[in-house]
Amino acid sequence: MAAMSAPPREAFRLSQLLYDARYRSLTIQVIASILIMLLLVELVNNTVTNLAALGKDISFGFLWTTAGYDINQQIIPFTSQDTHARAALVGILNTLVVAVLGCILATIIGVLVGVLRLSKNWLVSRLMGVYVEAMRNTPLLIWILIVFAVMTEATPQPREFREGGSASMILWDSVAISNRGVYIPRPVWGEGSGLVVAVFLLSVIGIFFLRAYARRRQEATGDQLPVLWMSLGLFFLPALLAFFALGRPIGLELPELGGFNFTGGIQVRNSFIALWLALSLYTSAFIAENVRGGILAISKGQTEASFALGLRPNRTMQLVILPQALRVIIPPLISQYLNLTKNSSLAIAVGYMDVRSTLGGITINQTGRELEGMLLLGIFYLITSLIISSFMNLYNSNVKLKER
């Protein structure tokens, strides 16, 4: 019979696509991807058809028309005569400011709380436990509104700062805390201030070189330099010397009460403070748990071994525990940073003009371009998140276990 004496490399038959295990998975994948494509085509088609039925086209031309509205917090200049695209950019910068500052503050609080929660002091560790649970288990929006309500209801109005009013400025009349925000002095950059800044930046770079030199020296000779004191000195002294040598070129413009509001200085708006604090406090609770988990993940044997080698507790923490704990802490920290950035879109609740409020709020409302606006907004958050996570991954590959 021909079939029985068939050669081992028989010709491909169509039925093999279904009955031959070698090809079956391929068949299923091809069919599944065709179905998914059809579904997507149908969705896009449906959207376009329905939008056309409503008489709406998809167009991004609205970005180049006049915005017509004003934005209170501007990092780059903006007037109501600028375009919607520039309004979106102002919003993007506001989002980034609150996200970056939020990540920094959340990390500082988170690390502190995480370490303190492991403290042997019963009261401290329990207090930190209460903090973490209270923050983690309530919605972020509530914290934003609470901070905002405290900032607007419990602080004095600017007019209270007038003669005979009940409020006064703090820190030698340089800072005013009002229900419209905190007014802080603004640095005035006089002639020669660039030189002071340059000296300062140089000394910061110098600190890095100093530390590298100190490490090399210690590895070669075993001598330790007082790195902390030398760094601190390098940080302050050259810049201060330059500052006074050049005749104090950097001045301060203090906030002053004029008309309805304070003028001069920098106004840190309540909406910003509420969003920044609430985002930081909320995210710090999650970071604290990451930190605690990371430290607990390092076995006790490491500590004991390091003690046996004669290292003191703080050197043990610094040289043995933390470098290993960071490997556990960094990956979940990335997602906390991403969460914080995306959660900043709750800004609209307190009227902080982030990109969700400008592009995704007023612009959409004034132009009626919901789909386009939301698409742009989605793409912005996506790109931002990808950039943050790629930077953090870079750092992660720096601290992760090096296999040699």
Partner 1 sequence: MKKTLIFGAMAAAGLAAGAVSAGTMDDVKARGTLKCGSNEGLAGFAAPDANGVWNGFDVSLCRAIAAAVLGDPQAVEFVPLTSQTRFTALAAGEVDVLIRNSTWTYSRDTDLKLDFKGVNYYDGQGFMVQKSLGVSSAKELDGATVCIQTGTTTELNLADFFRVNNISYEPVPVATNAEGQQQYLAGACDVYTTDISGLAATRATFENPGDHVILPEVVSKEPLGPVVRHGDNEWGDIVGWTLNLLIAAEELGITSANVAELAAAPTANPEVNRILGTEGELGAMMGLDKDWAVRVISAVGNYGEVFERNIGEATPVGLARGLNAQWTNGGLLYAPPFR
Should residue 80 be labelled a site residue for partner 1 when binding is judged by CB under 8 A? yes
Among 370, 390, 391, 400, binds partner 1 (CB under 8 A): 370
Q: Quick one: the chain helix, strand, coil %, rounded to 5?
A: 70, 5, 25
- Classify residue 325 by burial, with Cβ atoms within 10 Å: 0-12, 13-18, 19+: buried
Should residue 34 be labelled a site residue for partner 1 when binding is judged by CB under 8 A? no
Should residue 72 be labelled a site residue for partner 1 when binding is judged by CB under 8 A? yes
Should residue 55 be labelled a site residue for partner 1 when binding is judged by CB under 8 A? yes
- Nearest to residue 278, comparing CAs of 116, 105, 114? 105
Residues 371/51, Cβ–Cβ less than 8 Å: yes
The single-letter DSSP state of residue 83 is B
- In the complex with partner 1, the residue whose CB is nearer, 71 or 277, is 71
Should residue 165 be labelled a site residue for partner 1 when binding is judged by CB under 8 A? no
Residues 255/265, Cβ–Cβ less than 8 Å: yes
Q: How far is the CB of 33 from partner 1 (least distance, A)?
A: 13
Q: What is the largest CA-CA distance in the chain?
A: 114
Among 16, 23, 68, 399, binds partner 1 (CB under 8 A): 68
Residues 294/322, Cβ–Cβ less than 8 Å: no
Should residue 70 be labelled a site residue for partner 1 when binding is judged by CB under 8 A? yes
Please tell me whether residue 340 adopts helix, strand or coil conformation.
helix
Number of residues located near partner 1, criterion CB under 8 A: 50
- In the complex with partner 1, the residue whose CB is nearer, 303 or 389, is 389
Should residue 53 be labelled a site residue for partner 1 when binding is judged by CB under 8 A? yes
Should residue 368 be labelled a site residue for partner 1 when binding is judged by CB under 8 A? yes
Among 23, 69, 200, 235, binds partner 1 (CB under 8 A): 69
- Nearest to residue 119, comparing CAs of 339, 365, 313? 313
Q: Half-sphere exposure of residue 302, counting CA atoms within 13 Å on the CB side?
A: 16
Among 108, 121, 378, 390, binds partner 1 (CB under 8 A): 378
Q: Half-sphere exposure of residue 137, counting CA atoms within 13 Å on the CB side?
A: 6
Should residue 107 be labelled a site residue for partner 1 when binding is judged by CB under 8 A? no
Q: Of the ranges 8-16, 103-111, 191-199, 375-383, which one interacts with partner 1 (CB under 8 A)?
A: 375-383
Should residue 263 be labelled a site residue for partner 1 when binding is judged by CB under 8 A? yes
Cα 377 to Cα 312: distance, rounded to the nearest angstrom: 51
Chain residues binding partner 1 by CB under 8 A are 40, 43-44, 46-47, 50-51, 53-56, 68-72, 79-81, 152-153, 157, 159, 179-180, 258-261, 263, 270-271, 348-349, 351, 353, 357, 361-362, 365-368, 370-371, 374-375, 378-379, 382
